[in-house]
Amino acid sequence: MTMTDAAPTLNADEQKVSDLLDDLLEQFPPKNTSPAEFLGAQFDRGLAWVHFPEGSGGLGLTPKLQRMINERVQAAGGPNAMIRNPIGHGMCGPTVVAWGSDEQKARYLRPMFTGEEVWCQLFSEPGSGSDFAGLSATGVRDGEEWICNGQKVWTTLAHLSKWGLLIVRTDPQAVKHAGLTAFVVDMQDPTVEVRPLRQMTGEAEFNEVFFSDTRIHESEMLGKPGDGWRVSLTTLMNERVSIGGTIPSKGSGTIGALVKAWQEADASLKTPSRLDEVMSLWARAEVARLTNIRASQNRKMGDPGPEGSIGKMASADLNKEIYEKVMDLMGADALLYGSYEMIRPETAMGSDTPQKAFLRVRANSIEGGTSEVMRNILGERVLGLPGDVRVDREVPWSEIPRN
């Protein structure tokens, strides 16, 4: 073997992770192990979220090692924790590890990673979408419990969830950002009602959720009373990384669907101008992928910072343009949608047809924060530009006019 063929030398952390992966795959062969058992063993070895603390599914190492773990597990045919529980894995897990008590971390993180307990986040309301801090769902202290009332909307996978990350207003006399508190709520409590919201795809992965005198013990609070805005920022920044920061292998993901559509397109549609458009989109997708690799290497535990908004904003527009071109290359076949039966899917990850994906990616510029909100975040918190005009910054929430 020549020097150029030699395997790269691993540093101490990489060797530690590699040894743990060898042990995991030897002791729990994916072909002969149930997904929940395999993922539980992965969690116990600190290979779930490698940058989390030891005992919480991690090893306290750099997050860039997670890519090495995911690639090894995928190559061996192992299960994908993100697909089983996307909201829990990508958003609620980092929030619990950043804000939860030791008891909450011990109770929630492992079954969250294995997918045995699905999670949802309960932020948006009919009257407060992009202005999330203006929410009106309430939490009132009653001894050691908080009584919560209100409505949430666009709650992904609420119909499958055991637990939800809930933000309510506990101090209406404080300014709107300061009077919020975060809780873990039991979604199967009889006072919690979940109703489906059918999308234009025909599916209902989204829901509206109603809380009617729902009692939550104070031990289920994340942080302290009034910390809800900061807790929600942790969740939202991780949501944006989860939506826009996925790092597929080169040429796969949404751009892979476009390449496949080009390969299968009728010869009459493969014009030089269309080829130029396809290659331009491929180049943009590769730039986004490489940018997300760099961002993931700088990610902090729990709260990745505002830079996660870059990938989210860029991918929202890019995904829509990619699937518009896929539809163009499919010609008249793009009009054949297939079954429009209303179903309640078991994951929010992926679509089974290009036509459904074309409709589903319309939501990318809304979910996790609109593209307009992303531009404000990047302008103010990354580029240091002057902030937007906010006339209600110092006004108590109870005095702000509302529709």
So what's the pLDDT on residue 98?
94
So what's the pLDDT on residue 143?
97
**Does 301 score more than 80 pLDDT?**
no
- The CATH number corresponding to 119-226 among 3.90.550.50, 2.40.110.10, 3.30.470.10, 3.40.50.300 equals 2.40.110.10
Instruction: Output the pTM of the full model.
Output: 0.86
Better-predicted residue by pLDDT, 381 or 241: 381
C-alpha 389/C-alpha 128 separation (Å) is: 18
So what's the pLDDT on residue 34?
96
pLDDT average, residue stretch 55-77: 93
DSSP 8-state class, residue 171: -
**Does 244 score more than 70 pLDDT?**
no
So what's the pLDDT on residue 299?
58
C-alpha 313/C-alpha 10 separation (Å) is: 35
So what's the pLDDT on residue 1?
43
Q: What is the CA radius of gyration of the chain?
A: 22
pLDDT average, residue stretch 263-284: 95
Q: Where are the domains of the chain?
A: 12-114, 119-226, 232-382
Upper half-sphere CA count for residue 323 (Cβ side, 13 Å): 22
At 347, the amino acid letter reads T
**Does 282 score more than 70 pLDDT?**
yes
Q: Any idea which of 45-49, 273-277, 355-359, 361-365 has the lowest mean pLDDT?
A: 361-365
**Tens digit of pLDDT for each residue in 9-62?**
889 999 999 999 999 999 999 999 999 999 999 999 999 999 999 999 999 998
Reported confidence tier of residue 128, pLDDT bands at 50, 70, 90: confident
**Tens digit of pLDDT for each residue in 191-206?**
999 999 998 888 898 9
So what's the pLDDT on residue 88?
94
So what's the pLDDT on residue 291?
79
Structure-token match 């009617």, residue found: 212
**Domain 232-382: CATH superfamily, name plus number:** Butyryl-CoA Dehydrogenase, subunit A, domain 3 (1.20.140.10)
Better-predicted residue by pLDDT, 338 or 212: 212
Asked whether the beta carbons of 191 and 180 are under 8 A apart, the reply is: no
So what's the pLDDT on residue 252?
79
Alpha helices in 127-186 (DSSP H): none
Kindly report the average pLDDT of the chain as a whole number.
89
Asked whether the beta carbons of 90 and 237 are under 8 A apart, the reply is: no
**Tens digit of pLDDT for each residue in 132-176?**
889 999 999 999 999 999 999 999 999 999 999 999 999 999 999
**Does 330 score more than 90 pLDDT?**
yes
pLDDT over 90 for what percent of the chain?
65
So what's the pLDDT on residue 279?
97
Identify the CA nearest to 231 among candidates 221, 243, 240, 223.
223
**Tens digit of pLDDT for each residue in 108-118?**
999 999 999 99
**Does 63 score more than 90 pLDDT?**
no
So what's the pLDDT on residue 80?
92
Reported confidence tier of residue 324, pLDDT bands at 50, 70, 90: very high
Architecture of domain 12-114: Orthogonal Bundle (1.10)
Asked whether the beta carbons of 354 and 264 are under 8 A apart, the reply is: no
Reported confidence tier of residue 3, pLDDT bands at 50, 70, 90: very low
Reported confidence tier of residue 298, pLDDT bands at 50, 70, 90: low
So what's the pLDDT on residue 307?
61
